[in-house]
Amino acid sequence: MNNVLVKVEHLSRYYGPNIAVNTIGFEVRRGEVLGFLGPNGAGKTSTMQMITGNLAPSAGRIEIGGVDLLDNPKQAKTQIGYLPELPPLYRELSVDEYLQFCARIHRVPKTSIHKSVAYAKERCGLNDVGPRLIGNLSKGYQQRVGIAQAIVHLPAVIVLDEPTVGLDPIQIREIRSLIRELGKDHAVILSTHILPEVQMTCDHVQIISKGNLVYRDTISNLNQQARLGALTLGLNHPPELSALQSLPQVQSVEPLGNQRWKLLHAHNANPAQEIATIAVNQQWGLCELTPEYKSLEQFFVDITMIEPKPEANPA
């Protein structure tokens, strides 16, 4: 069974002579939460608007659940739930009234509206606020209502544009947890410029810079690539420096003071276990052996500061 729910090929968008999105391509499968990461002005929102059918691409192709978005927009959009950066809420309506209205807009059959609204409220933690006016809810609950309207018609694909902007830390944690839960049953695309958002919520990440897709991989591989190729070693009974320099796969040793050293090694090597075994056998009093990582922030800056080259589209 083909679980690819979003397929983007050679997607571009021009605004006059300026290119906002430059021939990007990617796929999202059911059960994936894709973090679409990039600095402000990189082309994230334009891409989200094209995927959801709110902005016509200058070139390229978009498939939602196997349906061409440009050829059959009505059919394709039935499979999309979209939360824009500014949630489309009617503050004078109650939560129940608003979600019922959204269900009708999405052409949910009359006999199924009650069930669909109940489902969206349950998933988004809104059961206790159904009768309350949206305008009287906290920002966090309003954001939950925004997500509820995006899933009330049970779409296969959920697109969230900056879903935690303006929330406090507790609300952010709640929304992140909700997104991870939704990712189990849907294909979720999360557009953001907040680095921890991607690291803590998504299982795949792609970075866009100046309209070009410059990086994509799993979060686990991203963390692996962010390794500095270094270990911090602490010993209570250290040997001569030459013994440390001759450790397997160690390229150089930098003293850090207080009987601690930085051991530099190749990025594709991981000599930690071997070094730990030697330290224990030689009775060096091993008290610390920690891999060093480049921060996600530094990795992001390094990627986006390089003059971008368009990534090859998937076959």
Residue 2, pLDDT score? 62
194 pLDDT tier (thresholds 50, 70, 90)? confident
Assigned domain for 98 exists = yes
Question: Is 179 inside a domain boundary?
Answer: yes
Looking at the structure, do residues 26 and 129 belong to the same domain, yes or no? no
Q: Are residues 239 and 177 in the same domain?
A: no
Q: What is the DSSP string of 101-119?
A: HHHHHTT--HHHHHHHHHH
Report pLDDT for 277. Answer: 95
Pair (64, 123) in one structural domain: no
Count of domains for the chain: 3
Q: Which residue has the higher pLDDT, 181 or 221?
A: 181
Average pLDDT on 208-234 reads 84
Same domain, 132 and 165: no
What mean pLDDT do residues 47-62 have?
Answer: 94
- The mean pLDDT of the chain is 89
pLDDT at 315: 40
What was the pLDDT predicted at 196? 79
For residues 182 and 308, membership in a common domain is answered with: yes
Q: What is the mean pLDDT of the segment spanning 191-199?
A: 83
Read off the CATH number of the domain in which 289 is found. Answer: 3.30.70
Closest CA to 192 of 53, 46, 36, 310: 36
163 lies in the same domain as 301? yes
Model confidence pLDDT, tens digit, residues 301-314: 877 876 655 454 44
Q: What is the pLDDT of residues 237-290, one digit of tens each?
A: 999 999 999 999 999 999 999 999 999 887 777 899 999 999 999 999 999 999
Q: Which range of residues forms the domain containing residue 256?
A: 228-293
User: pLDDT-derived band of residue 40, with 50, 70 and 90 as boundaries?
Assistant: confident
**84 belongs to a structural domain:** no
Q: What is the pTM of this model?
A: 0.77
Residues 15 and 70 in one domain: yes
Residues 163 and 176 in one domain: yes
Burial of 117 (0-12, 13-18, 19+ CB in 10 A): buried
Residue 293: the pLDDT is 72
> What mean pLDDT comes out for the span 183-204?
88
DSSP string, the chain: ---EEEEEEEEEEEETTEEEEEEEEEEEETT-EEEEE--TTSSHHHHHHHHTTSS--SEEEEEETTEETTTSHHHHHTTEEEE-SS----TTSBHHHHHHHHHHHTT--HHHHHHHHHHHHHHHT-TTSTTSBGGGS-HHHHHHHHHHHHHTT--SEEEEESTTTT--HHHHHHHHHHHHHHTTTSEEEEEES-HHHHHHH-SEEEEEETTEEEEEEEHHHHHHHTEEEEEEEEESS---HHHHHTSTTEEEEEEEETTEEEEEE-TT---HHHHHHHHHHTT--EEEEEEEE--HHHHHHHHHHS---PPPPP-
Domain presence at residue 159: yes
Residue 177 token pair: 């947890």
Q: Rounded distance, CA 140 to CA 144, Å?
A: 6
Domain boundary among 122, 151, 180: 151
Which pair of structure tokens corresponds to residue 4? 């690819």
At 8 the pLDDT is 96
Assigned domain for 147 exists: yes
- 229 exposed, middle or buried (CB, 10 Å; 0-12, 13-18, 19+)? middle
In the chain, the percentage of residues whose pLDDT exceeds 90 is 69
pLDDT at 306: 66
**pLDDT tens figures, 100-126:** 999 999 999 999 999 999 999 999 999
What pLDDT is stored for residue 298 in this prediction? Answer: 75
What pLDDT does 102 receive? 97
The answer as to whether 73 is a domain residue is: yes
User: Is there a domain that residue 103 lies in?
Assistant: yes
The whole-number average pLDDT for the span 24-50 is 91
Q: Are residues 215 and 255 in the same domain?
A: no
Q: Are 209 and 254 members of one domain? A: no
